[in-house]
A and B are shown apart, each in its own frame.
Chain A
Amino acid sequence: MKFFRRLHSLWSLLPVAFFLVIWEISARTLVSNQALFPPFSSVMGEFFILVKNGVLLENLGRSLLRVLVGFLAGSLAGLTVGILFGTKKFLYRSFHPIFSLLYPVPVLGWIPVFMLWFGIGEMLPIALLFVCAFFPIYYNTETGIRSVNREFVHAARTLGAGDFQILTTVLLPLALPNIFTGLRLESGMAWRTTMAAEMIAIPTGIGALLMKAENLIRMDIVIVCLIVLSIMGFAFERFFLYLEKKTIGKWA
C-alpha cells in the first residue's frame, strides 16, 4: 500500500516535470532572445546565485516578516471582533453595516489612503495586510459562531455551562472549520498583497526585487521571484490545512 501511495505521489509530479522539460527545450531551441524567455536551468542557476549571495533570503525575510506581522495582527483583530459580533447581537446590529460597506473595497484600493496616512515605510504593507486578513477572518468567525446550532448552546447551558464556558468549549471549537477556511484562503492572499505593496511603494522585499529585476530586464530573476512567491503562498496554505486537519480533522 505504502509503495502504491508513493507511486501515486510521484505520478502527480510527472506533469510538473513534463512542463519543465518542455520549458527548457523550447527556450533553448525556439526562442532567439533567451534574456526574455530564459530556460529553466538558467533560472535555477540564478536562484542558487541569489541564495548564495544572500539577496534572495534577505528580501524574502523582509517580506515574510511583513506577512507574519500584518497577517497575524489582522487575523487576531478579525477573530476578536468576529467573536464579539457573533455573540453580542447589539454589536452586530450596530456595526456590521459599516463593515459590510468596507469589505468590498479591494485591498489595493487602500494603498493611496495608507500611503498618505503612514508614508512609505514598513507600516504600509503591514496596514494593507491587516485589512487583507481582518475582513475575511472577521466574517468567517462571526458567521461560524452564528451558524452554530442553538441546540448545542442550549445543551451546554442546561449541563451547567456559563457564557464564557459556552464560548470556549462550544462556540469557538464549532466555528473552527469556518475560521480555518478564512485563514487558509487569506494566507495566499496575504503574499499577493505584500508583493503588490512592495512593487508599488517599498524598496525591499520580494516584490521590490522583482521590480528591480524588471527594470534591468533580468527575466531569470523575475521568474525566481515568482516561483518563491508561489512556493510561499502554497506553503502557508498547506500549513493551515495541516493545522486544520490536526485540530478538527477527527470530528469535522
Chain B
Amino acid sequence: MPKVTLKGISNYILKDLSLEVHDGEFLVLLGPNGAGKSTLLNAIAGLTGYRGAILFDDKPVDALPASKRRIGYLFQHLALFPHMDVKGNIGYGLRVRGEKNPAQIEGRIDELMTMMQIGHLAARYPKNLSGGEKQRVALARVLAASPDVLLMDEPLSSLDLRAAKRLRLEIRHIQRSLGITAIYVTHNFAEATEMADRIAVIEQGRLMQIGSPAELLFDRHDDHAGGFIGRPNIFTCGSYQVIENGLAAAECGRMKIIVPHDGKPVERIAIAPEHVYVSTEEPLGPHVNRFDGTIREMRRGEACVRASIEVCGQLLEAELAPEIADMMNLSEGSRVHIILKLRWLQPLESKGAGNDHL
C-alpha cells in the first residue's frame, strides 16, 4: 500500500499543510470542529480543490479525479445508497469500475460479507439496518474495490459507546490485516489515542503537532496542540484492581478512579478537560468517579472557560461553556462536584511524569 505525502496543501481552510503518512500506517487527524480535518480528507480524495501536491508513493495524483485515485472513503453519515440493498451497495464500486464478470462480483461481495459478518443482511435495504450494521456494510463497500488508501471521516460518531468500541477494534484489525494505509478523522481524543499509530493535531487549517499517542500526551511541545487536546489531565496510578464488566479500579493518589479495562496494565489515566463534568449541585446517578473539589483558578477564553480545580490534593483542568460557568456563578474558591465520565477516561500504560497540572 502506498505512503501518502502531502506537500503545502492550501485552500479555503487548509494553510500550507504538509505531512507524510507511512505505508500501512493508521494516522488519526485530531482537531476541533471546523479545523479542516474533513477538508483535508476531501482534498486527498480529490473531492475539493487545493493548491500544493498530494503524492501516493511519490507519484503525484493531483491531476487524477476522485474516481481514479483508488481510495476508499468512509463518510461520516456513511452515504449508503438507500435505493440499493446491501449486496447492491457492496458491489457498486466493482460494477462502476467496469468489472463485467458477475461471478467475480458475487464472489467478492460474499467474501466481504463474510469478513464483516453481514451475510444475513444481503437483501436488506439501508433503512432496515441498525447503526452498527450500516457501518459494517459501508466498510465492506469501501473495501470491495481493494482501495490503496482508506479515508474515514468520524464514521463511528453516531454509534453508542459499546458498538463504537467494538467497531473501532474491528476497523483497526482489518486495517492491520490488509496492511492498508488509513487516515481517520475524529475530534475525540480517547478514540484517537486508542486507534492511531500516529496522531496529527490540526487546528485552523494548520498541522500543529504530529506524533504517536504517547508522544502527544507526554511530550507536548506545542502550546496550540496542547490547547486543542486540552492538555489532558493525566493521573499516575499507584495500583489498580480488575473488577467485573471490563472495568478496573485504579488508585491515583487519594482518588479511586473506575476505568475501562481491556487487559493491559493501567499505569496512567488521561481525560481531556472538556470531558470533566462540573456542577455546583449534587449530581444525580451512581457514585462512580465523583469527587468534590475547589476552584483555584479560572481563565476565561473566547469560546470556553478553563478552571483549575483542586481535587484530593491534585489539580485538575476542566473546560466549560461560558454560559454554563456564568449560570453556576463559578469563581475562584467555589466548591464544586466533578464527575470523570467513564466514557472519556483513557487508561494508558506508558511511563512518564506525573500529573502535568500538579
Q: Which residues of A contact B (CB under 8 A)?
A: 149, 151-152, 154-162, 165, 169-170, 173-174, 176, 248, 250-252
User: Interface residues of B, CB < 8 Å — how many?
Assistant: 29
The interface bits of chain B over 29-58 (1 if a CB of A lies within 8 angstroms of the residue's CB, else 0) are 000000000000010010100000000000
Given A154-B73, A159-B96, A159-B142, check contact A251 B47 (CB 8 Å).
Answer: no
- Residues of A near B76 (CB, < 8 A) are 151
- Residues of B near A155 (CB, < 8 A) are 73, 75, 79, 81
Interface pair B83/A174, CB less than 8 Å apart: yes
A157 to chain B minimum Cβ distance, whole angstroms, is 4
Interface positions of B from 112 to 160, Cβ below 8 Å from A: 125-127, 141-142, 145
Expressed in whole angstroms, the Cα–Cα distance for A156 and B84 within the complex equals 12
Partner of A152, one of B47, B65, B71, B79: B79
Expressed in whole angstroms, the Cα–Cα distance for A160 and B142 within the complex equals 10
Interface pair B45/A158, CB less than 8 Å apart: yes
Given A162-B67, A251-B127, check contact A154 B96 (CB 8 Å).
Answer: no
Given A160-B97, A160-B145, A250-B125, check contact A154 B83 (CB 8 Å).
Answer: no
Q: List 9 A-B contacts (CB under 8 A).
A: A149-B79, A155-B81, A158-B66, A158-B142, A159-B92, A159-B93, A160-B68, A161-B92, A173-B83
Expressed in whole angstroms, the Cα–Cα distance for A160 and B72 within the complex equals 10
Is residue B82 within 8 Å, beta carbon to beta carbon, of the partner chain? yes
B25 to chain A minimum Cβ distance, whole angstroms, is 20
Query: Residue of A at shortest CB range from B71?
Result: A158
Interface pair A170/B75, CB less than 8 Å apart: no
Interface positions of B from 53 to 111, Cβ below 8 Å from A: 65-69, 71-73, 75-77, 79, 81-84, 92-93, 96-97
Expressed in whole angstroms, the Cα–Cα distance for A160 and B148 within the complex equals 13
B75 to chain A minimum Cβ distance, whole angstroms, is 5
Query: Residue of B at shortest CB range from A172?
Result: B83
Interface pair A170/B67, CB less than 8 Å apart: no
Interface pair A174/B66, CB less than 8 Å apart: no
Query: Residue of B at shortest CB range from A151?
Result: B79
Given A161-B96, A251-B127, check contact A154 B79 (CB 8 Å).
Answer: yes
- Residues of A near B125 (CB, < 8 A) are 250-251
Query: Residue of A at shortest CB range from B77?
Result: A151
B336 to chain A minimum Cβ distance, whole angstroms, is 42
Query: Residue of B at shortest CB range from A157?
Result: B66
Expressed in whole angstroms, the Cα–Cα distance for A155 and B142 within the complex equals 9
Expressed in whole angstroms, the Cα–Cα distance for A151 and B80 within the complex equals 9
Interface pair A251/B83, CB less than 8 Å apart: yes
Query: Residue of B at shortest CB range from A159?
Result: B93
Sample of 17 further A-B pairs with CB below 8 A, known A149-B77, A154-B73: A151-B79, A154-B47, A155-B73, A157-B47, A157-B67, A158-B67, A159-B67, A159-B92, A159-B96, A169-B96, A174-B82, A174-B83, A176-B83, A250-B125, A251-B84, A251-B127, A252-B83
Interface positions of B from 172 to 193, Cβ below 8 Å from A: none
Expressed in whole angstroms, the Cα–Cα distance for A120 and B229 within the complex equals 77
Given A158-B45, A174-B83, check contact A151 B96 (CB 8 Å).
Answer: no
B55 to chain A minimum Cβ distance, whole angstroms, is 18
Expressed in whole angstroms, the Cα–Cα distance for A79 and B75 within the complex equals 30
- Residues of B near A251 (CB, < 8 A) are 82-84, 125-127
Query: Residue of A at shortest CB range from B69?
Result: A158
Expressed in whole angstroms, the Cα–Cα distance for A248 and B79 within the complex equals 18
- Residues of A near B126 (CB, < 8 A) are 251
